[in-house]
């Protein structure tokens, strides 16, 4: 299911205050179009809702998400802020604005939004996860860990976050807490078997444990998987595999991956771990 479909489903299913009378069927159609990846159709269906329900905050939240997906961040933020002007207590609008601030690397602003969400909607594991990531970026590991743990305690239901174990496992690995990290990264791989990030982080964990065969298996698996979000770059996997094969004594493969790492162009890296 797409992120926009999840958003619309949360709005219509009670994750927010509830859509204005008469807007529910139209927003349901938007959600279905989004679920199928029909972005142009979703946008077309949303336009009459925003025109006929100028005070419907839910429609503005969905509009903000659509504009963000289209690469129009300014319009996305304006729509979300309008939603909050109409309904300051609209938690999904505040959550999405927090995501906007996080992606813009405005981490203090993101923290403020997510703290408001989790204080009033403590079962929102997504908001706890983003709060932890923003606190990490601000160099506050103790508060970040508390947010990760709070998210894990409620990670089920409408606000389930499949990336929470991955993010927490990566956090623990950075702190050299290998056993704890392994439990979360193993679960992340089970939850997201076709995502590069969990395999890559678990390969790093195996390398730290000197389990080079396992590191090779996860590293090669990571390289075989797409990474459209730019979370783990090919360059990073090449460098990892070069180290793994060097420790396995396979000098030709180590040299091959080292050369790939040396010659690979570094694109703009994306911070968001969604």
Could you read off the pLDDT of 216-236 as tens digits, one per residue? 999 999 999 988 778 899 999
Which of the 8 DSSP states describes residue 19?
A: P
The structure tokens listed for 40 are: 């142009």
CB count in 10 Å sphere of residue 236:
20
Q: What is the pLDDT of residue 1?
A: 40
What is the pTM assigned to this prediction? 0.83
Question: What does the pLDDT average to over 97-120?
Answer: 97
Q: What is the pLDDT of residue 273?
A: 52
Domains in the chain and their CATH numbers? 1-104 (1.25.40.10), 193-263 (1.25.40.10)
Question: What does the pLDDT average to over 166-187?
Answer: 98
Chain-wide mean pLDDT for the chain?
A: 87
Which pLDDT band holds residue 154 (cuts at 50, 70, 90)? Answer: very high
Q: What is the pLDDT of residue 15?
A: 41
Question: What does the pLDDT average to over 176-205?
Answer: 97
Please state which of the ranges 18-27, 75-84, 103-112 shows the lowest mean pLDDT. 18-27
Nearest to 218 by CA among 249, 193, 254: 193
* Beta strands in the chain, from DSSP E residues, in sequence order: none
Which of the 8 DSSP states describes residue 264?
A: -
The proportion of the chain whose per-residue pLDDT surpasses 90, expressed as a percent, equals: 68
């Amino acid at each position: 299911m797409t992120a926009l479909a999840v958003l619309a489903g949360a709005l219509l299913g009670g994750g927010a205050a509830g859509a204005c009378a008469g807007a529910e069927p139209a927003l349901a159609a938007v959600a279905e179009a989004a679920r199928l990846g029909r972005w142009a159709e979703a946008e077309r269906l949303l336009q009459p809702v925003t025109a006929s329900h100028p005070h419907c905050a839910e429609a503005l939240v969905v509009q903000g998400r659509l504009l963000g997906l289209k690469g129009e961040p300014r319009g996305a933020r304006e729509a979300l802020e309008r939603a909050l002007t109409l309904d300051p207590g609209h938690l999904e609008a505040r959550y999405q604005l927090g995501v906007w601030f996080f992606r813009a690397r405005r981490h203090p602003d993101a923290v403020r939004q997510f703290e408001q969400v989790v204080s009033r909607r403590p079962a929102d594991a997504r908001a706890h996860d983003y709060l932890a990531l923003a606190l990490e970026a601000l160099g506050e590991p103790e508060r970040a860990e508390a947010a990760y743990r709070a998210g894990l305690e409620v990670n089920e239901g409408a606000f389930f976050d499949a990336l929470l174990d991955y993010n927490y496992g990566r956090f623990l690995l950075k702190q050299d807490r290998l056993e704890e990290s392994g439990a979360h990264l193993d679960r992340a791989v089970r939850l997201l078997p076709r995502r590069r990030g969990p395999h890559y982080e678990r390969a790093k964990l195996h390398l730290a444990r000197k389990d080079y065969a396992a590191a090779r298996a996860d590293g090669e698996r990571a390289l075989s998987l797409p990474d459209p979000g730019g979370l783990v770059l090919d360059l990073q996997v090449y460098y990892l595999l070069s180290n793994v094969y060097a420790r396995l004594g396979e000098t030709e493969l180590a040299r091959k991956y080292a050369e790939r790492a040396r010659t690979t162009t570094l694109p703009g890296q994306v911070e968001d771990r969604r």
